[in-house]
Structure 1
Amino acid sequence: MTVTAVWPIDSPDAPNGGDGVTLTDPSEVSGLLSRLAEPGAGVAAVWHEHREPADEETGMLDHDVCVAVRDGYGYLSYIDVEHDLAVLRGDPESPALVGEDVEFPAGSGVDLGVLAEALSEFLRTGQRPESVDWSTVEE
């Protein structure tokens, strides 16, 4: 299976900078998390390459997954045609994180090992990870 992740990088040297990676093996997830922990790394948009698009004509994805690493906590959001927008149920001490397209409420940050396990499961299955607890985001 294959997932692709892309994220912005906030840098005075490259105001419109960004980075990305394609993962094909769960052993590569820790490298992604290390890169997302670097200064200036923004929230990554992640998609599974082996899922069917929601709209064949436009190629619009049937899922939206966002991942971030900040201050030692990992953040993950997930929505698809079968699941409402949800974030991980995390450490109550973890701070909120506001990204460009997603907001992670306080208490949704998890240990990086938990995040790595969830992303590895997503890579293997293409489905919302069941190895973690989710909290639906109220709009």
Structure 2
Amino acid sequence: MTITAVWSIASTADANAGDGLSVTEPGEVDDLVRRLAEPNAGPATIWHEGREPADSATGMLDHDVVAAVSGGYGYLSHIDTDHDYAVLDGDPESPALISEDAEFPAGSGVDPAVLAAALRDFLETGRRPKAVEWRTLDW
């Protein structure tokens, strides 16, 4: 299985700066989480290469997964055809994370090791991770 992540990099020199990584082995997830924790790394859009598109004519995905690391916390959101939009049910002390690409409410941040465990679950199954607790949101 493979998951692919792409994210922006805040840069005054390059308005289009970004990075990405395809992960095929569970051990590579830790590298992804470390890279998302780097200064100026934005939230990553992540997709599972093994899932069928929702619309084969356009290639539109049937899921939307976003991960971020900020201030010592990991954040993850998920929506697919079987689940409503949800974020991790995290540490009540974790702050909200708001960027151009994603919004995570306060209390949805977890230890980055928990984020890594959730992403390994997603890599293995292609489904919403069961290794973590979720909180459904109405936006």
Q: TM-score range by the shorter chain?
A: over 0.9
1:8 matched to 2:8: yes
**Which amino acid is 2:91 matched to?**
D
1:22 is displaced (CA, Å) by 0.3
Q: Counterpart of 1:118?
A: 118
**What is the correspondence of 1:68-79 to structure 2 with a 5 Å cutoff?**
68-79=68-79
Residue ranges of structure 2 left out of the alignment (5+ in a row)? none
Question: Equivalent pairs: percent with the same residue?
Answer: 64
1:11 is displaced (CA, Å) by 0.9
Other structure's SS at 1:108 match: coil
Report runs of 4+ in structure 1 exceeding 6 Å deviation.
Answer: none
Other structure's SS at 1:117 match: helix
Q: Counterpart of 1:56?
A: 56
Other structure's SS at 1:113 match: helix
**What is the correspondence of 1:21-100 to structure 2 with a 5 Å cutoff?**
21-100=21-100
1:10 & 1:102 partners in 2: Cα distance? 14
1:99 & 1:115 partners in 2: Cα distance? 18
Residue ranges of structure 1 left out of the alignment (5+ in a row)? none
TM-score (norm 2): 0.98
1:14 & 1:70 partners in 2: Cα distance? 21
Aligned residues: 139
**Which amino acid is 1:103 matched to?**
E
1:15 is displaced (CA, Å) by 1.8
2:100 & 2:132 partners in 1: Cα distance? 24
CA 1:5–1:107: 2 relative to 1, 3 Å: same
2:79 & 2:132 partners in 1: Cα distance? 15
